[in-house]
Amino acid sequence: MATTDPAQSTLYPKITTHIPEIIEQLRRLNRDPAHPEANIIVDPIPFIGTVKLHGTHADILVYPDNRIVFQSRNIVGLSVAKDNQGFAADMSEKTAAVLGLRDVYLKRWKELYPSKTVGEDLPVVIAGEWIGDKIQKDVAIAQLSRRFVIVSVNINGTWQKDEEYSDISLSDHDIYSASRAGVFHTTLYPDDYERTVSEVERMTEDVAAQCPFASSFGISGLGEGIVWKPVPTQYNGDTSLWFKSKGGKFKPTFFRVPKQHEGADIMKERRKAAATVAAAWCSQQRLEQGWDVLREKDVERDVGALGDFLKWIQYDILEEEKGYIKEHGVDEAALKIEIAKIAKPWYRAKLRERDTS
């Protein structure tokens, strides 16, 4: 089971959307070092999912000395003065509740693992989404008042099984578990992953059409998707085996990279392939996310920040889509150029729109 090295970043891991990447990783983990050339057969593996919420990511780190640290996906050490959509300001008023929440998690963990001891320097990481009014738009949860929804918990350097802590929440303090919306089940078939894709897409589109988390509060409207984690203990805490599925307007565009024709201009073919994938991956949602990351990092959103915006968009695409890029041999240098061709005019138009509104 994967752990969090205290010397490493505590920022929440990035999760892929590509199931083939998960299958490749499973085969890598099951490869016999003595026979690396052998064909690896991985049996079907059950996965469990919780609703993916369209908010802004936020974490609470509670250390053994009761020190509390707030962070976003990109920044460690949020504060009231340097916040992310008011998350730190809100949680700073709930110190006793947060410490009590940590204690509840630790009590449950000790019941589950009575022979283990918590590391002296390891924080309990309560990872979640900060959602609600004016944080995001065009989804049902935007109609809710602001609240924190727990999506993962890391105790003693290990990501825990969600289902073992799914009943833990503090509704009186607007802190909930994503499991409130129910859980989803599927099976990953390594030798027939299209079967898995079909099952996952059906459930994901249901979530996108009607957000079950918002529904639990009597709110009707659109959702985003599902985050999936393997059920077996030896795999569950390994974040390289987690994946997400998005539906509705958030659904990724899938396509085939144009094939290279014999005798064709290789560079021209590479640019064509890169342009095809860049057009699909530079979605409105991703561009808006890049715009919001600048705000989160307290970067002045002006002409001078264009370079920062482009770097984030390019990095995000190359990181999240790396499985597809590798599988189809997409030229990364050409891809970066094509991404910039789309992202530059979008950013400039966004500045004009903001300045004239």
45 assigned to some structural domain: yes
Q: What is the token pair recorded at 122? A: 């390891």
pLDDT digits (tens, 9 = 90+) for 220-242: 999 999 999 999 999 999 999 99
User: Of the ranges 145-149, 220-224, 262-266, 278-282, which one carries the lowest mean pLDDT score?
Assistant: 262-266
Q: Which residue has the higher pLDDT, 193 or 311?
A: 311
Strands (DSSP E) contained in 247-350 are none
150 and 84 in one domain? yes
Cβ within 8 Å of residue 163, ≥6 positions away: 48, 179, 183
> What percentage of residues in the chain have a pLDDT greater than 90?
69
- The confidence score (pLDDT) of residue 298 equals 85
271 and 140 in one domain? no
355 assigned to some structural domain: no
Q: Which residue has the higher pLDDT, 6 or 110?
A: 110
To which residue do tokens 């085996």 refer?
241
341 and 243 in one domain? no
- The confidence score (pLDDT) of residue 7 equals 37
62 and 179 in one domain? yes
Question: How many independent structural domains does the chain possess?
Answer: 2
299 and 227 in one domain? no
354 assigned to some structural domain: no
- The confidence score (pLDDT) of residue 1 equals 40
- The confidence score (pLDDT) of residue 3 equals 42
Of the three residues 189, 223, 252, the one that is the final residue of a domain is: 252
311 and 222 in one domain? no
- The confidence score (pLDDT) of residue 255 equals 54
In a 13 Å sphere around the CA of 90, the CA atoms on its Cβ side amount to 17
156 and 300 in one domain? no
To which residue do tokens 């482009």 refer?
310
83 assigned to some structural domain: yes
174 and 203 in one domain? yes
Of the three residues 202, 217, 252, the one that is the final residue of a domain is: 252
Of the three residues 208, 228, 252, the one that is the final residue of a domain is: 252
230 and 305 in one domain? no
**Does 252 score more than 60 pLDDT?**
yes
Phi, psi of 256 (to 5 degrees): -105, 135
pLDDT digits (tens, 9 = 90+) for 144-185: 999 999 999 999 999 999 999 999 999 999 999 999 999 999
Distance, CA of 218 to CA of 222 (rounded, Å): 13
140 and 4 in one domain? yes
Can you give the CATH number for the domain in which 215 is found? 3.30.470.30
331 and 183 in one domain? no
84 assigned to some structural domain: yes
213 assigned to some structural domain: yes
- The confidence score (pLDDT) of residue 108 equals 98
78 assigned to some structural domain: yes
357 assigned to some structural domain: no
Mean pLDDT of the chain: 90
pLDDT digits (tens, 9 = 90+) for 304-327: 999 999 999 999 999 888 888 888
Distance, CA of 274 to CA of 266 (rounded, Å): 12
- The confidence score (pLDDT) of residue 25 equals 92
338 and 228 in one domain? no
pLDDT band for 266, please (50, 70, 90 cuts): confident
Residue 314 sits in which domain range? Answer: 266-349
**Does 4 score more than 50 pLDDT?**
no
- The confidence score (pLDDT) of residue 257 equals 54
Phi, psi of 190 (to 5 degrees): -55, -30
To which residue do tokens 């006793």 refer?
96
Overall average pLDDT of the 50-58 stretch: 96
